[in-house]
Amino acid sequence: MAVGIDRLFAGGTVLCDGAMGTMLYSCGVFINRCYDELNLSQPEMVRSVHQQYLQAGAEVIETNTFGANSFRLERFALREKVREFNLAGAAIARQSVDAIREKQGTEAFVAGAVGPLGVRLEPLGKLSLEEAREAFAEQISALAEGGVDLIIIETMMSIDEAEQAVLAARQVAPHLKVAVMVTVDEDGNCLDGTSPEVAAERLTAVGADAIGCNCSSGPATVLTVIERMREATALPLLAMPNAGMPRNVEGRNIYLTSPEYMASFVRKAVRAGASWVGGCCGTTPAHIRAMRGSLRAMDAQESGERATEHTPHIVHASESEHRVEPRPLGERSQIGRMIADGEFVTMVEIVPPKGFDCSKELAGALLMKKRGVHVINVPDSPRASARMGAQSLCVQIQQQVGIETILHYTCRDRNVLSMQSDLLGASSIGLKNILCLTGDPPKMGNYPDATAVFDVDAIGLVNIVHGLNQGLDIGRNPIGGSTGFTISVAANPGVPDIEHEVRRFAYKVEAGAEFCITQPVFDLRLLEDFLRRIEGFRIPVIAGIWPLTSLRNAEFMKNDLRVAMPDEIFVRMAAAGGKEEALAEGLKIAQEMLASVRGSVQGVQVSAPFGKYTAAAEVLGLTEEIA
């Protein structure tokens, strides 16, 4: 550790540098280029940026390594360059600091810059906490080897990810001080919903030496966050905002916040309790120079009074105090009661129309109700097709027909904020059964150029719904009660990689799934194998049943939908002859499959291909209307 580094954490003000990316972009580097790679290909350009910030008065400069982790570099096919880029970035910054010390006698320090991984962590994403920590450790280890004086973990959108970065630093570079900054939305909350108070407490508890806020929507937002963090921690605070929000001027994104305004921000930030100040996107050496002048003009006694005035005290309640216990499964919905009581459940799938007229679907739901079907299952734009929203059809079926529905809900089209909004709305209008799905990618559908979101997959979605059932939003903040959903998930016993499917199923159960619905089953042996594999973490299983309509339908199921189908099914459908004979044979196969699975599952979902609702009822043996 460099001599004098401890003074940076002793309570005085510290001026850091501004944006690296903004400066490199101004030099003509395209925005889609790997900026970390410039440490090797154009080191003089990077060194020039460091020198400009040091000459402007920065006491701490950050290495050009914001995105130099394995996950971000993989996008440029440079994953194996993690160590090289970080070593080079540290060397360039160190040379710049040593040069100004020799030339002007000015002491400055090198902070190894560590940005987010660019992938979502569990429980909302696929990346485990351990894998995230390993990726951070790889980068931080190289920065430490390169001789940085401290680590700055910045622009963290998720507190879970920030914690793993701090833990990694403690693991591989225990001799280095660690500062960590989150980025927030306009309301001052982290992008995972965590409040500044909670973020301050958690990052303090995990062992950070300093915490704060950077990037975000500009100085005003960051100032508010610093004020709120000051109430929850005694650690030094960092405040490094963007130069406001960018504006598009003749095709270029321009940051319009002036150096004078940033200088004014510095005075307010220090009075609010910040020890470290600097800039993020859009800030330049001119901004840092103005901030340096503002700091020099501040009275030393005011700084001492400020330290006394802002004695921290904890004001926020813990997550456990807000968590509520959802009602027992049997009290949340009809299907929840049937599953809790061990009854055999019958469902029929009704696909939303491609237009706005759902009279046929409502008539089908009414027919199913009269035949004694328990629940209607409504897919969410299956195969990425453009259809009426599943939530709308569910509401109309429940209100106009009076039969319970299960809403399929996919991750394809929505970010996590939209998901939370939709789910809160669904609960408020009486939709209580959710099937959590990842969703088919748009390229499978009739609008292949449509974009997908996939903020999370089905496992992350289950975690979100489970949290809402506990009265907590995605940021673990209270929502005023439980949404009371019954949570179901999908499973496919016929996938080639059954080990992967079983692992994902286990994660879904751990996340809070309460029953599952399988893809259509045509091979009983595959279903039996799946049930055997999940024995240690089994939840009630509803088997999917699909009455085939023709040989071509069977070929489509196997080749397009990748549904496992034994050869004897094709033989039987090919031998069926005409259209009516094929329909009858498909119905018979479905009835045989239902009889075979009935003793090993807790219900069946029967599809109604091409709107053949009567056929679905016949599969279930429900040929007569009930009173």
At 135-184, the pLDDT tens digits run: 999 999 999 999 999 999 999 999 999 999 999 999 999 999 999 999 99
R_g of the chain, CA atoms, integer Å: 29
**CA pair distance 625, 371, nearest whole angstrom:** 5
Helix axis angle for 129-145 and 159-172, nearest 10°, is: 50
Which tokens is 591 given? 């009835």
Comparing C-alpha atoms, which of 388, 394, 365, 357 is closest to residue 611? 365
Q: Residue 129: what are its φ and ψ, rounded to 5°? A: -60, -40
Predicted confidence band of residue 265 (pLDDT cuts 50, 70, 90): confident
Which stretch of DSSP H or E encloses residue 314? Answer: none
- Tell me which residue range forms the domain holding 427: 330-619
CA 124, 129, 134 angle in degrees (round to 5)?
Answer: 140
Beta bridge partners of 410: 437
Is residue 538 over pLDDT 90? yes
Which tokens is 590 given? 């479905």
User: Is 190 within any annotated ligand binding site?
Assistant: no
Q: How far is CA 33 from the centre of its chain?
A: 25
At 199-208, the pLDDT tens digits run: 999 999 999 9
Indicate the SS3 state at residue 596. helix
Q: Are 71 and 119 in contact (CB under 8 A)?
A: yes
- 283 belongs to a structural domain: yes
> Domain boundary residue among 276, 311, 346?
311
CATH number assigned to the domain comprising residue 562: 3.20.20.220
**CA pair distance 70, 56, nearest whole angstrom:** 33
Is residue 261 over pLDDT 60? yes
CATH number assigned to the domain comprising residue 73: 3.20.20.330
Q: Are 595 and 569 in contact (CB under 8 A)?
A: no
**CA pair distance 327, 344, nearest whole angstrom:** 22
User: Is 358 within any annotated ligand binding site?
Assistant: no
Residue 248 and residue 177 share a domain: yes
At 547-597, the pLDDT tens digits run: 888 888 888 888 767 788 888 888 888 888 788 898 889 899 989 999 999
The pLDDT of residue 247:
54
Neighbours of 618 (CB within 10 A): 17
- 318 belongs to a structural domain: no
Is residue 306 over pLDDT 70? no
- 352 belongs to a structural domain: yes
- 343 belongs to a structural domain: yes
Is residue 254 over pLDDT 60? no
Comparing C-alpha atoms, which of 159, 95, 92 is closest to residue 132? 159
Residue 531 and residue 405 share a domain: yes
Q: Residue 478: what are its φ and ψ, rounded to 5°? A: -70, 145
> Domain boundary residue among 248, 278, 311?
311
The pLDDT of residue 193:
87
Neighbours of 22 (CB within 10 A): 21
Helix axis angle for 259-271 and 285-297, nearest 10°, is: 40
Indicate the SS3 state at residue 193. coil
**CA pair distance 87, 140, nearest whole angstrom:** 10
Helix axis angle for 82-104 and 43-56, nearest 10°, is: 40
The pLDDT of residue 307:
36
Residue 377 and residue 300 share a domain: no
pLDDT, the chain, mean: 86
Beta bridge partners of 375: 347, 404
Which tokens is 445 given? 């559908």
- 205 belongs to a structural domain: yes
> Domain boundary residue among 257, 283, 311?
311
Q: Which residues contact 365 (CB under 8 A, 6 or more apart)?
A: 350, 376, 397, 401, 403
At 19-57, the pLDDT tens digits run: 998 899 888 888 778 999 999 999 999 999 999 999 999
**CA pair distance 457, 576, nearest whole angstrom:** 41
Residue 335 and residue 284 share a domain: no
H helices of 342-406, where?
359-371, 390-400
Return the DSSP state at 190. B
Is residue 387 over pLDDT 90? no
Residue 263 and residue 176 share a domain: yes
Residue 361 and residue 283 share a domain: no
Which tokens is 111 given? 């902070």
- 613 belongs to a structural domain: yes
Beta bridge partners of 518: 491
Residue 154 and residue 11 share a domain: yes
Which tokens is 483 given? 């949404």
Predicted confidence band of residue 85 (pLDDT cuts 50, 70, 90): very high
Residue 339 and residue 249 share a domain: no
Comparing C-alpha atoms, which of 168, 66, 147 is closest to residue 113? 66
**CA pair distance 547, 550, nearest whole angstrom:** 9
Predicted confidence band of residue 1 (pLDDT cuts 50, 70, 90): very low
Residue 347 and residue 283 share a domain: no
**CA pair distance 53, 47, nearest whole angstrom:** 10
Residue 503 and residue 366 share a domain: yes
**CA pair distance 601, 594, nearest whole angstrom:** 10
- 265 belongs to a structural domain: yes
- 281 belongs to a structural domain: yes
Average pLDDT over residues 266-294: 90
Residue 374 and residue 282 share a domain: no
**CA pair distance 423, 294, nearest whole angstrom:** 48
Beta bridge partners of 488: 435, 515
Structural domain count, the chain: 2
Residue 257 and residue 214 share a domain: yes
